[in-house]
Amino acid sequence: MDNVRLPEKWERILGSDSENSKFNLSDFYLKIEGLVAENESSIIPRPDLIYNVFRKVEPQNVKVVLYGEDPYPRRTSANGVAFWDEEVVCWESKTSGNSLRNIIKALLIHKGWASYETPVTECRGIIRDKKVASPPEFFENWLSQGILLLNTSLTLSVDENRKMKKHFSQWREFQFEVLKGLHSCGQKPWFILWGNKAQALKPMITDVFGSEYEKIIEGEHPTFQYQFLRKSGGDKHYSPFTEIIDKTGLSWL
């Protein structure tokens, strides 16, 4: 499965040729091939998109790693980039996923254009009036700035929910190697950890970058807007992007 592999620049920093590394990339590829082969029709995203985000951001350009949890549970939505719902080609598109809708609302709130009580239909009108980029352009803008949109587990099996833990455990060593690779090439990115599964990676980050590493932002997962709101103590004008934009200095909208 030659198309189910990382770009060369990422392969070079993952320590597969290092005598001091227990991680072997060739062995890892075989492990993931085995995971996919168990039931390829149920694996999300489709195999050639598993490493898609690494084709869009080169390691030397990473300024932020934004962790999600696992891919959208629909092949029409999951494209190997965390939070990017491929079903949503324009802001009027219908989708059963909540994360993207709550992310864009949080950005509108940051701008002072909405609150958490603003209906979705009204948010769409604001997006049109403010000429916000289409969803694909929106995510490409993030990626072009060096925002690596990375799920904690790069795969899931929609027919085998009982095996979700297996997917997360399979990708754990890979996530550690990505962190070591970024550190080895001199990167000191911000890490944004949304949700419990992403926050479980914090010990790995501090192990690699040091216990005093301060470029970590933790928050709730955007599946439900009340989760984003929880950190605010009920302030309906709170947005997690206020802290994120202030600290990273990047353009998120």
- How many residues appear in the chain? 253
Which of 171, 17, 1, 161 minimizes the C-alpha distance to 179?
Answer: 171
Beta bridge partners of 151: 68
Euclidean distance between CA atoms 210 and 191, whole angstroms: 13
Residue 1 has pLDDT above 60, yes or no: no
Per CATH, is 8-248 categorized as 3.40.470.10? Answer: yes
Contact in structure between 52 and 80 (CB atoms under 8 Å):
yes
Residue 15 has pLDDT above 80, yes or no: no
Residue 96 has pLDDT above 80, yes or no: no
Q: What is the pLDDT of residue 117?
A: 87
CA dihedral 108, 109, 111, 113 (to 10 degrees): 70
Which of 241, 217, 70 minimizes the C-alpha distance to 150?
Answer: 70
Residue 54 has pLDDT above 80, yes or no: yes
Which of 182, 216, 180, 222 minimizes the C-alpha distance to 200?
Answer: 216
Predicted TM-score of the model (pTM): 0.92
Contact in structure between 151 and 70 (CB atoms under 8 Å):
yes
Q: What is the pLDDT of residue 42?
A: 84
Helix (H, G, I), strand (E, B) or coil at 157: strand
pLDDT band at 186 (very low <50, low <70, confident <90, very high): very high
Q: What is the pLDDT of residue 21?
A: 67
* Sign of the alpha-carbon torsion through 137, 141, 143, 149: negative
Please compute the mean of the pLDDT values over residues 30-58 and round it to a whole number: 91
The residues spanned by each domain of the chain are 8-248
Please compute the mean of the pLDDT values over residues 96-109 and round it to a whole number: 88
Q: What is the pLDDT of residue 3?
A: 66
Residue 134 has pLDDT above 60, yes or no: yes
Q: What is the pLDDT of residues 137-172, one digit of tens each?
A: 999 999 999 999 999 999 998 775 555 667 778 899
DSSP 37: H
